[in-house]
Amino acid sequence: MADYHKLAGMMAHHEELAIFRRFDTLNLKNLLYMQAELIHLEAELRQMELDEKISADPNKPVHPMSVYDLREVTCTGKTTQWAKYQEVQGKLQAYNSAVIQYFALRKVAKPAANSIECLQEWLDRPEGGDFFLKGREADTWEAVNDLVALDRRQPSDDALTSLINEKLVPWYHRRWAQRFKVKYYVFGCFPHIN
């Protein structure tokens, strides 16, 4: 019976078929929400600093001169400025990590068209995935512009080799070789894999 375990095993054995969604829209929306949250936190922190500077209370220390004093006053419960800074610090760290991760994700190569086709064939074949994915999960690899390949086989720069491997061999397989159960190999893609 096919399941995610079988799919993962096949991807581990045929690395060029380790193809995943990049979730561009969700990643960008996440960055936008995090950015908006930081904009508000930054404004709150600035307002707290400004309120402290213009305070008429002569006993109220001016914290921007000393982080130590700022931390100590927070410990006594007299101010929340340090607590607000710590909140900003955590959110900023998460935001920066998300920006760097998304930047790196955008650099991951897109899969070759024949690798996507090969993966989709495997998912549909009874000896492969046997249509085990249901509902929305079954459409995972339909978003071809939102996919990344963890092991991108680089197509040849030679136009003739690309034409043969990407067009003629798959056409031959679909048109003739399937009738005779002939197995073929294109850029590491094994349509017959179990």
pLDDT in tens, 45-74: 999 888 877 876 666 655 556 777 677 665
Residue with tokens 């101010």: 79
Residue with tokens 């130590």: 68
For the segment 183-187, the average pLDDT, to the nearest whole number, is 44
Predicted confidence (pLDDT) at residue 34 exceeds the cutoff of 90: yes
Grouping H, G, I as helix, E, B as strand and the rest as coil, residue 104 is helix
Residue among 118, 122, 123, 130 at smallest CA distance from 170: 118
Predicted confidence (pLDDT) at residue 184 exceeds the cutoff of 70: no
User: What mean pLDDT, rounded, does the chain reach?
Assistant: 83
Instruction: Note the pTM of the prediction, 2 decimals.
Output: 0.74
